[in-house]
């Protein structure tokens, strides 16, 4: 009698590969990237992966920092955070967020922080009073 293992058999490898490909596609395309010609701020450029290819905040937090199913709305969180809290979060990467320590310098982190603050102010001013 042939011994079989769970998941073994004809077509199982292909099914698993297709499942992994679909999962990878869903994970990698959560947030959209702002096109380069629509970026107006150096922090926005960094956040959207237009300055450094390995910095892709937009994938989890959306191009406008309002969040996706993968990452929280940063605009809502900003009022409770100091600039130091934001920098620490970017550099240490809490939870599932990757660490950007060694990938961004203090000046670049400050640019992202300033852009996030400006976005939060813009969104707050657009709210009906």
The verdict on residue 108 lying in a domain is yes
The verdict on residue 20 lying in a domain is no
The verdict on residue 15 lying in a domain is no
In the block, tokens 């600039």 appear at 83
Q: How large is the average pLDDT for residues 100-120?
A: 97
Which range (18-22, 75-79, 110-114, 119-123) has the least confidence?
18-22
Q: Is the pTM of this model over 0.85?
A: no
Q: Could you tell me the sign of the dihedral formed by the alpha carbons of 129, 61, 46, 114, in that order? A: positive
Q: What is the CATH number of the domain that holds 99?
A: 1.10.760.10
The verdict on residue 24 lying in a domain is no
Q: Which two tokens stand for residue 22?
A: 């679909």
The verdict on residue 77 lying in a domain is yes
Maximum pairwise Cα distance, the chain: 75
Digit-coded pLDDT (tens) for 62-95: 999 999 998 999 999 999 999 999 999 999 999 9
Our count of domains for the chain comes to 1
The verdict on residue 26 lying in a domain is no
N-terminal to C-terminal alpha carbon distance within the chain: 75
User: Which residues form the domain of 66?
Assistant: 32-126
Digit-coded pLDDT (tens) for 27-65: 555 788 999 999 999 999 999 999 998 999 999 999 999
The verdict on residue 21 lying in a domain is no
């Amino acid at each position: 009698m042939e011994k079989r293992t769970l998941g073994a058999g004809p077509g199982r490898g292909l099914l698993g590969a297709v499942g992994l490909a679909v999962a990878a596609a869903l994970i990698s395309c959560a947030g959209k990237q702002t096109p380069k010609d629509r970026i107006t701020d150096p922090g926005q450029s960094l956040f959207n992966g237009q300055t450094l290819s390995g910095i892709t905040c937009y994938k989890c937090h959306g191009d406008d920092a309002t969040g996706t199913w993968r990452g929280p709305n940063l605009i809502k969180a900003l009022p409770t955070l100091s600039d130091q809290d934001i920098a620490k979060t970017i550099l240490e990467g809490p939870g599932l967020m990757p660490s950007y320590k060694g990938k961004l310098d203090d000046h670049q982190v400050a640019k992202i922080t300033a852009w996030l603050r400006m976005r939060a102010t813009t969104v707050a001013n657009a709210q009906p009073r």
